[in-house]
């Protein structure tokens, strides 16, 4: 009997009709496979938020100015953002990483300094980062992912302009038109959305319709997206459950999967966001999210909301009585 057969048998022998817990059973089986254990645990969770700025934000691809990235980093560190509130409500830890916020380095005792540069270059007209910068971002992220000690790893991001970067990276990796992935991001009006579309099509026209992952990240990515990609790979290598958040996190997951396909067994997709490109990327990956709540904030908020389902699925497999142990008659 294979390990997968043992998991299926354990689930089918719980005191319930076979398959009656639906997606929760599939989730429990995935967690058992990740940990190679019939009594898995998803009781501890850490959210890591990567922050960085994008040169193309200065061209007007976002409704908010770049200085909001720095301001939100301070808000995270002060515990005042939605991600902090959700983390407290579910008992998750939070750590914040400066991957490349514009301006001088931020000095704070709780901030992880993995700063690649003070933001990327303007990807509308040139490559966002050098190959060395990309390598550094991926390596720093992998180190952070491997160092996590919690059962579950959630990754969030903050970076004005990063839905534009995610759209361009995803389009180039998948070989599709960037126009199909462009959404309102942080709340653009119709005029702003039209401007964003024009700018991103201009950026896309610089390069071939489809690019290798590392080239796509170098040309269009953000330091936070590249570092998150590395962290997802590192956490998977360390045997962690990785809950993938919204559109930007899913773009990072797409890149991670193309670089290390074996990560797929560790990835659980939290939700489908209201950002128009998110569903298209998940459809391309052929994955099903746990939730659909019209979220479009990022920060890892959706991943945190999904963690209780992951935790419950693991607990069900670990703690729920079997027909034999409970003395309950099974199906005839």
Domain count, the chain: 2
Both 84 and 209 in one domain: the answer is: yes
Is residue 230 assigned to a domain?
yes
- Domain residues for the domain of 248 are 45-308
Distance CA 42, CA 287 (A): 21
Is residue 331 assigned to a domain?
no
Distance CA 228, CA 224 (A): 6
Is residue 263 assigned to a domain?
yes
Is residue 298 assigned to a domain?
yes
Token look-up 């390596």 returns 139
Both 23 and 89 in one domain: the answer is: no
Both 58 and 203 in one domain: the answer is: yes
State the DSSP string of 85-153.
Answer: HHHHHHT-EEEEEEEE-SSSPP--TTEEE---SSS---TTTS-SS-HHHHHHHHHHHHHHHHH--SSEE
User: By CB neighbour count within 10 A (0-12 exposed, 13-18 middle, 19+ buried), where does 105 fall?
Assistant: exposed
Is residue 157 assigned to a domain?
yes
DSSP letter at 1 equals -
Instruction: List residues with catalytic annotation.
Output: 299
pLDDT in tens, the chain (332 residues): 899 999 999 999 999 999 999 999 999 999 999 999 999 999 999 999 999 999 998 877 887 888 999 999 999 999 999 999 999 999 999 999 999 999 999 999 999 999 999 999 999 999 999 999 999 999 999 999 999 999 999 999 999 999 999 999 999 999 999 999 988 766 778 877 788 888 889 999 999 999 999 999 999 999 999 999 999 999 999 999 999 999 999 999 999 999 999 999 999 999 999 988 999 999 999 999 999 999 999 999 999 999 999 999 999 999 999 988 988 887 76
CATH number for the domain harbouring residue 128? 3.40.50.10210
Can you state the angle between helices 23-35 and 301-319, rounded to 10 degrees?
80
Both 73 and 13 in one domain: the answer is: no
Alpha helices in 130-246 (DSSP H): 131-147, 162-174, 190-204, 213-220, 223-237
Both 12 and 152 in one domain: the answer is: no
Both 321 and 284 in one domain: the answer is: no
Both 17 and 88 in one domain: the answer is: no
Both 106 and 177 in one domain: the answer is: yes
Both 163 and 298 in one domain: the answer is: yes
Both 19 and 152 in one domain: the answer is: no
Is residue 137 assigned to a domain?
yes
Is residue 332 assigned to a domain?
no
Both 57 and 26 in one domain: the answer is: no
Is residue 257 assigned to a domain?
yes
State the DSSP string of 269-288.
Answer: E-B--SSHHHHHHHHHHT--
Radius of gyration of the CA atoms of the chain, in A: 20
Both 114 and 153 in one domain: the answer is: yes
Helix or strand (DSSP H, E) at 45: strand 45-52
């Amino acid at each position: 009997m294979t390990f997968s057969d043992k998991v299926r048998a354990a689930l089918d022998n719980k005191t319930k009709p076979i398959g009656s817990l639906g997606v929760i059973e599939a989730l429990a089986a995935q967690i058992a496979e990740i940990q190679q254990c019939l009594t898995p645990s998803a009781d501890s969770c850490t959210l890591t938020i990567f922050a960085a700025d994008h040169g193309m934000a200065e061209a007007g691809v976002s409704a908010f100015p770049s200085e909001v990235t720095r301001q939100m980093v301070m808000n995270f560190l002060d515990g005042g953002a939605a991600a902090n509130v959700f983390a407290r409500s579910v008992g998750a830890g939070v750590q914040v990483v400066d991957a490349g916020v514009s301006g001088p380095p931020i000095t704070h005792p709780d901030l992880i300094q993995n700063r690649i540069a003070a933001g990327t270059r303007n990807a509308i007209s040139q490559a966002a980062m050098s190959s060395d910068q990309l390598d550094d971002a991926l390596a720093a992220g992998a180190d952070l992912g491997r160092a996590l000690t919690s059962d579950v790893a959630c990754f969030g991001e903050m970076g004005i302009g990063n839905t534009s970067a995610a759209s361009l990276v995803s389009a180039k990796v998948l070989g599709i038109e960037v126009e199909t992935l462009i959404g309102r991001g942080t709340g653009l009006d119709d005029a702003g959305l039209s401007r964003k579309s024009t700018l991103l099509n201009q950026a896309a026209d610089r390069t071939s319709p489809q690019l290798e992952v590392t080239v796509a990240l170098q040309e269009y990515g953000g330091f936070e997206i590249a570092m998150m990609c590395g962290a997802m790979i590192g956490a998977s290598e360390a045997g962690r459950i990785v809950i993938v958040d919204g559109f930007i996190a899913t773009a990072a997951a797409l890149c991670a999967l193309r670089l290390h396909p074996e990560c797929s067994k560790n990835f659980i997709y939290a939700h489908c966001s209201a950002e128009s490109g998110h569903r298209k990327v998940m459809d391309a990956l052929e994955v099903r999210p746990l939730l659909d709540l019209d979220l479009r904030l990022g920060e890892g908020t959706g991943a945190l909301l999904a963690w209780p389902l992951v935790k419950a699925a693991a607990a069900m497999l670990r703690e729920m009585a079997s027909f034999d142990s409970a003395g309950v008659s099974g199906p005839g």
